[in-house]
Amino acid sequence: MVPAATSPRMEHAARVAHARSCARFEQRRVDQESRAAAGLVSVSTTCKSGSVVVDWAENCITIDPKASRVTRLRKGLGIAAKQLHNQGEKNQTIWMQTLTYKGDNRQWRPEHISRYLDALRKWHYARTGSKSVRYAWVAELQQRGVIHYHVILWLGGGLTPPKPDQPWHSKDRKGIKQWHPPMWAHGMSNRLRSTAPVAYLMKYASKIESKNVGTFPHGARIHGAGGLDPSGRSIRRWVLWPAYVQGNASVADHFKPARGGGYINESTGEVLLPEFAPTGGGFTSFIRIRTTPRRIDPSGPFSWLPSSTQVH
């Protein structure tokens, strides 16, 4: 959309800002191409303009970091939960647990959820001989404003996890019972069987919005998952890539963020340069400086699984 009225000063400012943005990104492009000279580099037209004011209006986007975090949460958690559920056998048991603080957010520490998961793996190893546990969790703010966690566990048939706020026991090689401290020693917990684990997690994920994500304690992770098999990890990675990477990659590819922007394929050295560059003044406003051709029409990552990979 073209502004209803533009002054010479506004047009001059737009030209200057546009030129600076293109110059900064062009330097990044040159740096990336020199680093990727031995591999394949995807390059497309950059910064072509007719009317600068029109180009600036049509090619600028504003990104809300909080909204982006929520979108990533819902996409990543949803696909991970579905994959974890499908990995299990027909007789798997599914448990949901809640971890609640007895005080307020002053008692919260970022390592608490990690230590709970470490204790869970220790218990699982004592019962099965394997430290690999399939789990997914999402954080929520209670009505009183205190963070707490909802956890789903996918376990082998017949396994019942300890109630997190209670001590649990294992047996040593001689069969002697050994007691261990609670997995969650910071308040209360709950433990129930689950019949709709993905829906349960996404119910709480849907409550997190950009307007309240900033009220979580500073530095708090708001979701996580573990125990995905290689296929599940590949699918989740593909889902979280930008559209221009998805349109040029399969789930079998190993793209990762490249230094200076864009994505690089670790296996081939191919570089996909980013389509937007920051306009300055923070990383919320961006301008399109290229359109990367899509080599394929992505209909979903499952259609690109290697033939040797099985999806249940």
pLDDT, tens digit (0-9, with 9 covering 90-100), for 246-264: 988 888 899 999 998 899 9
Beta bridge pairs of residue 286 = 61, 278
pLDDT (0 to 100) of residue 129? 93
Contact (Cβ atoms closer than 8 angstroms) between residue 27 and residue 273: no
pLDDT (0 to 100) of residue 25? 58
pLDDT (0 to 100) of residue 211? 81
Q: Model confidence over 163-191: pLDDT tens digits?
A: 999 999 998 888 889 999 999 999 999 99
Contact (Cβ atoms closer than 8 angstroms) between residue 44 and residue 291: yes
Total-model pTM: 0.75
pLDDT (0 to 100) of residue 36? 43
